[in-house]
Structure 1
């Protein structure tokens, strides 16, 4: 192929490419697309992030904490504390600390966490019991309001304010109900059948108890008047938000992200334990069961009894053996008195009465010397062998 043909082919390719580009340019229509990547890491870590942003947009200073350790640093005057965290491990001392803070002028808002137990006269929520409010299940209420069936929004909680024609609507969980047996509350908010928020004065401060705080989480805070209600409870104050910030432990995180490494580490530890536990050298054969003589067993048994029970036990055993043989050789031996028994033994064994009395006398309380003990045993054995 000559050079001219190559030039023609190249020009044709360039022309076709240009024509294709012009066609695509005329036919292509630009557009914008929004890709939802889900909640940001900050929103996933803080379920009340939208609530914080809403309050800040209305000029309220908002901070959040993970424990009550920050409470001494918070001035109760013109400050609101939102307790939305888990309080199951709250101590009586911490309850006193929080209530003293509210009594000094703070606004306290917390979630009732436990149901009232009529039998025990308490609930498992120390803070709720201290403010003398009770929480129960709405389905257990015996006398619902007579106009409950006429409510067009029975599942919404209504808060009525002075100089307002219409109430504010909030999306509390209607499964729970708050009761005020002491008539301490000065304001409350109800759904068609139950009460879900109560506010009572406490010292120079106020305490607001709600059945749940899920209405202020993302995205529920954007519904109804949920956001406005949170602003209403904390208006003209700074806000500190405490919420459940329990994190996974180190072992849980390691198992979640490095399971293969943990399994390999456990396998290595197991192999190492197996290695260090292996015997070095040949295994010793078990000793034969019949290697000892009868006398060795008897001597070992006697040594054991001597160590644990003392000399008197051995001497008494020999004395009883002598008396048992005497009863066998001499009918009516047990009916004789001690002197007559010694005379009978003297005739049977041809031993002097003095030796018999020494051998059968009760063993002394004191420990005998080895020579005395051996002499006493020898006397008893001689008597026994003579019978």
Structure 2
């Protein structure tokens, strides 16, 4: 029986070994990479890839959210990429920005407002000053009927000197830039629309783009989009303006109306000083007359009642009564409590129960004014009878 079990066990081990070898020899390893999607940093910053690309090219990149984002930047060594909506810039800020460019600054700005022929404005003071208009490509007279597809995208081509092939850019074909005064010195076009214009402005350069989506995280790696970003900012310290925050009203008031603010503050201080002046003679000091003894006693009792309570006052009266009885009847304090109360009852001519009610310490319960007055009068009668 034991030999049979041993044979079966050996056969099972052989079958298991052969099966394991077969599975191992036919096993195919497959590696899969799971895409977890964009990181939280990329979701919060749609131009994170653009900044990292520029840093990879050896450029210094900084972000700015101030309304005066050009302040503190050296015009000859700085480049600003204005991706935020700049339509909130005031006329003074637009002139300051253009002066910064004129001194050698380099500015790339994304056009946001569409041109309105009725108001003769695009709602963008910077573009209106540059006389650049942005419109829809579909409104052009030679707009094609067949839209661009993924197989045949409508790319924008930028032709450079000494280059045999044009630069291909992925601008949104839905927009078009127009330069009615012919100030542009370079431009890039798609089939029917213009998406990039470059203007010489003093010692600096201004580049106007119909949209900035080609530099977003999901599109900067397409075509030559990243190369254009480097080309416009090469050899410069780059500042990316993703949003602009307005200065608080008090800061603007101090900047543009500092003298008026100082005058208003001085006027307010003078008014406060005028209102604080005493009117009429100063009142004399009150007569330091001594109060009567009754007032002092009443005040002392009120203070003791407020801080010690009714039972504290009654306890003081009981102690005084006990000391008075000891002086007139030596040995009174050494008697038991019951004998003290009986002696007080005989001397005062009152029942022992009344004496016990008056001499027994209270339980801390508040008494009414009437009960408190009667208890005090009862202790006083007992004391007077000794």
Q: What interval of TM-score do these two structures reach, taking the shorter chain for normalisation?
A: 0.5 to 0.7
Change in 2 beyond 3 A, CA 1:64/1:8: farther
Aligned residue pair count: 239
Question: Structure 1 residue 198 and structure 2 residue 219: aligned?
Answer: no
Any conservation in 1 of the 2:70–2:80 contact (CA below 8 Å)? no
2:35 alignment counterpart: 36
Change in 2 beyond 3 A, CA 1:94/1:14: farther
Q: Distance in 2 between matches of 1:216 and 1:23?
A: 54
Shift of 1:24: 4.8
SS of the equivalent of 1:33 reads: coil
Q: Distance in 2 between matches of 1:23 and 1:244?
A: 64
Q: Distance in 1 between matches of 2:4 and 2:84?
A: 82
2:272 alignment counterpart: none
SS of the equivalent of 1:59 reads: coil
Any conservation in 2 of the 1:154–1:192 contact (CA below 8 Å)? no
Any conservation in 1 of the 2:132–2:177 contact (CA below 8 Å)? yes
SS of the equivalent of 1:186 reads: strand
Q: Which deviations, in whole Å up to 9, do the C-alpha atoms of 1:183-241 show, x marking residues without a partner?
A: 11111111111111111011211111010011111221122211111111111212111
Question: Structure 1 residue 85 and structure 2 residue 84: aligned?
Answer: yes
2:161 alignment counterpart: 162
Question: Structure 1 residue 102 and structure 2 residue 97: aligned?
Answer: no
Q: Which deviations, in whole Å up to 9, do the C-alpha atoms of 1:93-149 show, x marking residues without a partner?
A: 33233222212211111111111122212121111112111112222223679xxxx
SS of the equivalent of 1:73 reads: coil
2:174 alignment counterpart: 175
Q: Distance in 2 between matches of 1:240 and 1:232?
A: 15
Any conservation in 1 of the 2:68–2:93 contact (CA below 8 Å)? no
Show the 5 A alignment for 1:192-271. 192-244=191-243
Change in 2 beyond 3 A, CA 1:122/1:23: same
Any conservation in 2 of the 1:84–1:213 contact (CA below 8 Å)? yes
Shift of 1:77: 1.2
Any conservation in 1 of the 2:137–2:143 contact (CA below 8 Å)? no
SS of the equivalent of 2:121 reads: coil
Q: Distance in 2 between matches of 1:217 and 1:129?
A: 26
Show the 5 A alignment for 1:23-172. 24-142=23-141, 155-172=154-171
SS of the equivalent of 1:220 reads: coil
Q: Distance in 1 between matches of 2:71 and 2:18?
A: 76
Q: Distance in 2 between matches of 1:153 and 1:164?
A: 24
Change in 2 beyond 3 A, CA 1:15/1:107: same
Show the 5 A alignment for 1:314-333. none
Q: Which deviations, in whole Å up to 9, do the C-alpha atoms of 1:51-87 show, x marking residues without a partner?
A: 2222222222222223345431221212210011133
Shift of 1:6: 12
Unaligned runs of 5+ in 2: 145-150, 246-386
Q: Distance in 2 between matches of 1:245 and 1:41?
A: 22
Any conservation in 2 of the 1:154–1:191 contact (CA below 8 Å)? no
Q: Distance in 1 between matches of 2:47 and 2:37?
A: 16
Any conservation in 2 of the 1:123–1:129 contact (CA below 8 Å)? yes
Any conservation in 2 of the 1:77–1:104 contact (CA below 8 Å)? yes
Change in 2 beyond 3 A, CA 1:11/1:195: same
Cα RMSD (Å) of the superposition? Answer: 3.2
Change in 2 beyond 3 A, CA 1:245/1:42: farther
Q: Distance in 2 between matches of 1:42 and 1:123?
A: 33
Change in 2 beyond 3 A, CA 1:17/1:144: closer
Any conservation in 2 of the 1:154–1:193 contact (CA below 8 Å)? no
TM-score normalised per structure 2:
0.54
Q: 60-69 or 205-214: which moved more?
A: 60-69
2:358 alignment counterpart: none
Q: Distance in 2 between matches of 1:86 and 1:184?
A: 23
